[in-house]
Structure 1
Amino acid sequence: MSSDLVLNGISKQFSGQRAVDNLDLTVPSGSFFALLGPSGCGKTTTLRMIAGLEEPTTGTIRLGEQEITGLRPYKRPVNTVFQNYALFPHLDIFENVAFGLKRRGVKDFKPKVEEMLGLVELSTYGKRRPSQLSGGQQQRVALARALINRPQVLLLDEPLGALDLKLRRQMQLELKRIQTEVGITFVHVTHDQEEAMTMADTIAVMNGGVIEQMGSPAELYDLPATTFVANFLGQSNLIRATIIGQAEENITVDVHGRKVTVPLPRCRVTEGDVWMGIRPEKVFIAAAGTEQSNGSNQLRGAVVTDVSYVGVSTQYLVKLPWDQELTIFEQNTGARGTFGVGETVDLHWLPTHTFVLDADQDAHAGVEHIDDPGGAG
């Protein structure tokens, strides 16, 4: 019997504002699922409705055969781990983890607590207080406390947001390991694209209360369905273009007088004006006139306007003849030369690394600015 988490027609309004808009979503049992999006997109509201902390305005929530829409939070087979851990400061780590079992009257709780502390690699920390642990260790305790009740679904609300970058990356791998070991459905809310892509089997990218696109990290990154997804999940170069023909399985696109080939399955539209997209790391940069196309797409006569060395790669800004700037990342393997500001270069990339989107969309949708707030939504 399936124990998938199914949201059907879920909406939530606050003071006339629709935070979540007629959402249909199925989270497969045993999967690591991420709700990804910017602040205010509806992801946290969706999580709170699953947890029972918010009541949907419309729609139903099912867990397997059981409808849980109207159940009180404590009656749902669901637990939540929050960003602030919410540990009991007066209890040691063992007692924090044991709390839920003791409250339910479970007598033989000691082996279960020891098993959970082992799972989160804190077996020797049982007698310590939360204040004696690092942020990452406290987060593991919160995870163990939630998992010991064996919920059908574990909800993670920006769980790593309070950790520094290095620790956050370590915990991403830990969370994935733990989810794989316990086999419980994890639903993880985050605004951090790298975090979602590192851990999740499936990502739903949310924007304005709806899901823009859902799929595996590779699917979303390699073939975004909208400009919002293309820009929010990593970086994209989007160039205005026009479709001028189709031959067998390829579309021909006119880019400011240059012809570019795109495989038909990589085109969201097949006629009219479009945004042609290429990821920065898919573009090769070469000295002007030194490399033949050999089946690659090519734009000639670009000028390097900025160079940033960042260790594993060099990041270039290049200005095209029509004054648009593209971003290019080249791995520092030593196999290819580097370029300086002011040099004229040609750009090459494979047709299979190109994607085409409807030009009616905003080319800047999903672009994050430095002063954008992260967090709840």
Structure 2
Amino acid sequence: MDLTLKGIEQRVGAATHLYPIDLTLVPRAVTVLLGATQAGKTTLMRLMAGLDMPSAGRVMADGRDVTGVPVRERNVAMVYQQFINYPSMTVADNIASPLKLRKESGIDARVNELAAKLHIEPFLKRLPAELSGGQQQRVALARALAKKAPLMLLDEPLVNLDYKLREELRDELSALFATGESTVVYATTEPTEALLLGGYTAVMDAGELLQYGPTAEVFHRPRSIRVARAFSDPPMNLLAAQATAGGIVLPAGVTLPLALPPKQTTTGFQALTVGIRASALRVRSRPGDLSLPGQVELAEISGSDTFVHVETSIGELVAQLPGVHVLTLGAPITLHLSPAQVYVFDARGDLLIAPGASPGEEKN
């Protein structure tokens, strides 16, 4: 499906839930709606589905204005955080229900195919109440996939599952979406999930669409500090800085040998913000690195990584170190950073320099 939103807004009383949004989804691909809780993701998906009427703007599907057309008259498949299955029907009948409505042939083969892909074959004769939460969510996903709808909307479908099951289902969903049978919109609060699903990402914050593009591009080239904050886990380290003739000066006089784009003013002092991803900080130095001695304030082990909070002369930094590190609180530690790995934002929060980009590339 070709889906385009033109000037879509949503207001409820005096409250604005969505500010004007223009968005054309890449057809037959995955678009991730990424943003914190109350960013507007669910509101936008409800407008896409036809569950709600926008306060202003139009929804175009395959070139046709479907604004106000109710969801029952649209060919849309939806999966929510809270899985919804028919309690009195077996797993097999739940999956088959959209196929039976369309009176399709080969229903049993299609049900078995989807059950195999989602590893729920042993449960086809059971009722949903006899399954675990993860298995019930797989049933809901299988039923949505069975519909073969041109538009599939998934609103944080894995959020209520345990960590291991989320990881497993993400991999399976990525493989299923790769077939390109549907235009998929997938809402999540987790940057890692967006990166794993790939495709395209629309970053949202407080009812605004901040940036849309290929997921890797949005991650590596966040248009603003707001996008960088939304697309960083753990949050990007942000430091006040100033531009001088000798480079970009951080607190305590630490200087980064970076030049601003030619269009930027270089007279006097210019207020900037320097962003450093936690993964860019290391404990082993490389040639040309900036060394930042400090003390361990906190060390958190998360999966196969250790997140270390370090108090340095330029402020508190969070470093994401691969592996499990046992660190003593208050112990000295030196973090190392390549100046080429920093982001630089102007006083308005717009991106000036990104890793791998030559000065001026971001603001042509």
**TM-score category, normalised to shorter length:** 0.7 to 0.9
Equivalence map 1:269-288=2 (5 Å): 272-285=270-283
Query: In the TM superposition, what is the alpha-carbon distance from 1:141 to its structure 2 partner?
Result: 1.5
Distance 2:121 2:329 in 1: 55
Alpha-carbon spacing, 1:284–1:166, altered in 2? closer, same or farther (3 Å): same
For the Cα contact (< 8 Å) 2:295–2:331, is it kept in 1? yes
Alignment pair present for 1:181 and 2:179: yes
Partner of 1:295: 288
Alpha-carbon spacing, 1:129–1:313, altered in 2? closer, same or farther (3 Å): closer
Alpha-carbon spacing, 1:11–1:205, altered in 2? closer, same or farther (3 Å): same
Distance 2:181 2:281 in 1: 39
Alignment pair present for 1:320 and 2:320: no
Query: In the TM superposition, what is the alpha-carbon distance from 1:277 to its structure 2 partner?
Result: 0.9
Alpha-carbon spacing, 1:6–1:255, altered in 2? closer, same or farther (3 Å): same
Q: Which moved more, 1:213-222 or 1:168-177?
A: 213-222
For the Cα contact (< 8 Å) 1:269–1:358, is it kept in 2? no
- Residues 234-268 of structure 1: CA deviation (Å, up to 9, x unaligned): 1211111011148xxxxx20113222034757x99
Partner of 2:340: 352
Partner of 2:147: 149
For the Cα contact (< 8 Å) 1:269–1:357, is it kept in 2? no
Which letter maps to 1:348? H
Query: In the TM superposition, what is the alpha-carbon distance from 1:79 to its structure 2 partner?
Result: 1.3
Alpha-carbon spacing, 1:100–1:351, altered in 2? closer, same or farther (3 Å): same
Equivalence map 1:302-313=2 (5 Å): 302-308=294-300, 312-313=304-305
Distance 1:225 1:353 in 2: 16
Partner of 2:355: none
Partner of 2:362: none
Distance 2:321 2:100 in 1: 56
Distance 1:300 1:110 in 2: 63
Distance 2:99 2:139 in 1: 15
Partner of 2:96: 98
For the Cα contact (< 8 Å) 2:150–2:181, is it kept in 1? no
Partner of 1:200: 198
Alignment pair present for 1:329 and 2:333: no
Partner of 2:356: none
Alpha-carbon spacing, 1:168–1:79, altered in 2? closer, same or farther (3 Å): same
Which letter maps to 1:259? T
Unaligned runs of 5+ in 2: 351-364
Query: In the TM superposition, what is the alpha-carbon distance from 1:301 to its structure 2 partner?
Result: 4.4
Distance 2:299 2:112 in 1: 53
Which letter maps to 1:42? G
| TM-score of the two chains, using structure 2 as the length reference | 0.84
Partner of 1:254: 249
Alpha-carbon spacing, 1:219–1:263, altered in 2? closer, same or farther (3 Å): farther
Query: In the TM superposition, what is the alpha-carbon distance from 1:330 to its structure 2 partner?
Result: 2.4
Distance 2:162 2:263 in 1: 39
Unaligned runs of 5+ in 1: 247-251, 363-377
Alignment pair present for 1:169 and 2:167: yes
- Residues 173-211 of structure 1: CA deviation (Å, up to 9, x unaligned): 111111113632210112233222221311111011111
Partner of 1:242: 242
Distance 2:31 2:119 in 1: 23
- Structure number with greater CO (CA < 8 Å, separation at least 6) is 1
Distance 1:102 1:64 in 2: 26
SS of the aligned residue for 2:283 comes to strand
- Residues 193-234 of structure 1: CA deviation (Å, up to 9, x unaligned): 322222131111101111122333433333333223323321
For the Cα contact (< 8 Å) 1:268–1:357, is it kept in 2? no
Equivalence map 1:13-32=2 (5 Å): 13-32=11-30
The CA RMSD measured in Å over matched residues stands at 2.8
Distance 1:144 1:48 in 2: 21
Q: What is the percent sequence identity of the aligned residues?
A: 31
Partner of 1:7: 5
For the Cα contact (< 8 Å) 1:10–1:59, is it kept in 2? yes
| TM-score of the two chains, using structure 1 as the length reference | 0.82
Query: In the TM superposition, what is the alpha-carbon distance from 1:57 to its structure 2 partner?
Result: 1.1
The count of aligned residue pairs is 344
Query: In the TM superposition, what is the alpha-carbon distance from 1:73 to its structure 2 partner?
Result: 0.7
